[in-house]
Amino acid sequence: MLGVDSSRRVLSGMRSTGTLHLGHLHGAIGNWVQLQKEYECFFLVADLHGFSTQYEQPNMIANSSFEMVMDWLAAGINPNNPIFLQSQVPQHAELFLLLSMITPLSWLERLPAYRDHNETLQDKDLSTYGFLGYPVLQAADALLYRAGLIPVGQDQVPHVEVARSIARRFNYLYGREDGFEQALELAQRKLGKKLSELYGRLRKQYQEKGDVDALLAAKALIKEQSNITISDQERLLGGLDGQGRNILPEAQPLLSPHSSILGVDGRKMSKSLNNTITLRETPDDVVKKVMGMRTDPARLRRTSPGNPENCPVWSFHKLYSKEDTQAWVQQGCTSASIGCVDCKKPIVDAINEDLQPVRIRAAEYEKDPGYVRQVLVDGAEHAQEEAEATLDQVKEAMGLGRFY
Ligand code: SF4
């Protein structure tokens, strides 16, 4: 645990509720593929979260968990990263329980996603304790791995804020100790004269002037020390904002690019709306789906002019086509000099080109499901080691099992 640099660690996760599609590829997963080149990444298959809205569909959750991992690998997620099922790392459930004890209900009830889902997912039973509490499970997911960065869409930012609030509350409740200032002074001395003075200067700069660069420099300095205990490291970190031991780090949201691709019916691309182009779609099915796509209703006939802004095909051109093709679409659509079939052809080619390497890799994994299973076994083993170390610290801070 000592030496974990939270600012370089990313936890990415996805609920297992269906096959992946182009919206995922050009939103979350494409971003993950880039992030893994720069950060230490953990990839979580959030199967327990699947039960928060679809508890009556265990087979769907199990199947889509496995298929999703195949899609991740086929899309370019490196199997050397820990990739694991949430349910195979029992520390998630345990930390969720402990954090539930200190999370005020009002923090969960006022989350916009809680209110919106209750209104938009009326076909699902959301009147469960699990659905209200899933942001606490999300907090546990990130805190277990001491991840400093969580890639999320804009709608999930409030959930990261709740995770930060929970970590802060935990540190406030269980990180305080009698004689903290003296313990901090002792910890500071262990840095040696020069670094101790530097730490003191940076702490003062941050506390007196709110100098964020000084805060970051102090944190980096603490992380570099391999000869001090975890408790002293926590005291030094906690001493920066004067709270006490900083047992759980606060994560920051890392905004994922928004995928502008619409579904084939013009609504948001979503499996539940049955309007997706999946990552393993065959070339023929891509042709069928794109050629069957809804277009601007104003183009009733070949000779009727239209407006690309009113057409879902345009959302694909914006992603896939170069400027000259986009200009051709704009001019051709508004003047009716091209038909919708002409306009869709470059999109069929672009999607098939985009998906071809994914299909090839997915076919290899389909032939060798044992390999995918092994990736998950190895990932769970790695994740458990990390998670257990955090949970030990959490329990120690809470005094659990202290009489043994
Ligand atoms: S020409 Fe292209 S952009 Fe215009 S309505 Fe047809 S498919 Fe849509």
Question: Quick one: which atom of ligand 1 is closest to the CA of 311?
Answer: 8
Give the Cα-Cα-Cα angle 284, 371, 141 (nearest 5 degrees): 95
243 pLDDT tier (thresholds 50, 70, 90): low
Substitution candidate for ligand 1 out of 289, 299, 316 with most atoms within 8 A of CB: 299
Among 85-99, 243-257, 285-299, the minimum mean pLDDT is found in 243-257
Ligand 1 pocket, Cβ-based, cut-off 6 angstroms = 295-296, 299, 306, 308, 311, 313-314, 329, 333, 338, 340, 343-344
pTM (2 decimals)?
A: 0.84
Distance 268 CA to ligand 1 centre (A): 18
Distance 18 CA to ligand 1 centre (A): 30
Concatenate the DSSP letters of all residues of 42-82 into one string. Answer: EEEEEHHHHHHHHTT-HHHHHHHHHHHHHHHHHHT--TTS-
Is residue 242 predicted with pLDDT exceeding 80?
Answer: no
H helices of 190-320, in order, are 193-209, 212-223, 230-240, 283-291, 312-320
What whole-number percentage of the chain has pLDDT above 70? 97
Q: Model confidence over 352-369: pLDDT tens digits?
A: 999 999 999 999 999 999
Among 3.40.50.1820, 3.40.50.620, 3.40.50.460, 3.40.228.10, what is the CATH number of 6-175+251-259+369-398? Answer: 3.40.50.620
Note the pLDDT of residue 231: 85
Distance 293 CA to ligand 1 centre (A): 10
Question: Quick one: which atom of ligand 1 is closest to the CA of 332?
Answer: 1
Q: Model confidence over 328-343: pLDDT tens digits?
A: 999 999 999 999 999 9
Distance 259 CA to ligand 1 centre (A): 20
Closest-CA residue, ligand 1 atom 7, reads: 340
Question: Quick one: which atom of ligand 1 is closest to the CA of 298?
Answer: 5
The correct answer on CATH 1.10.357.10 for the domain covering 280-366 is: no
Note the pLDDT of residue 211: 79
Distance 340 CA to ligand 1 centre (A): 5
Is residue 240 predicted with pLDDT exceeding 90?
Answer: no
96 pLDDT tier (thresholds 50, 70, 90): very high
Note the pLDDT of residue 404: 64
Q: Report d(CA 255, CA 29) in Å as an integer.
A: 13
Note the pLDDT of residue 376: 98
Q: What is the mean pLDDT of residues 283-297?
A: 96
Distance 257 CA to ligand 1 centre (A): 25
The listed range with the strongest mean pLDDT (148-157, 273-282, 378-387) is: 378-387
Closest-CA residue, ligand 1 atom 4, reads: 333
Note the pLDDT of residue 122: 64
Q: Report d(CA 343, CA 291) in Å as an integer.
A: 10
How many residues are recorded in the chain? 404
Judge if 6-175+251-259+369-398 and 280-366 fold alike in CATH terms: no
Question: Who contacts 256 (Cβ-Cβ below 8 Å, separation ≥6)?
Answer: 27, 28, 31, 151, 152, 153
Substitution candidate for ligand 1 out of 321, 343, 344, 347 with most atoms within 8 A of CB: 343
Distance 347 CA to ligand 1 centre (A): 11
Is residue 166 predicted with pLDDT exceeding 90?
Answer: yes
Provide the residue ranges of all domains of the chain, joining segments of one domain with +.
6-175+251-259+369-398, 180-240, 280-366
Closest-CA residue, ligand 1 atom 6, reads: 340
Q: Report d(CA 215, CA 219) in Å as an integer.
A: 6
Q: Model confidence over 310-331: pLDDT tens digits?
A: 999 999 999 999 999 999 999 9
- Within 10 Å of residue 64's Cβ, how many Cβ atoms? 24
Distance 256 CA to ligand 1 centre (A): 29
Tokens for 332, please give them: 């051709």
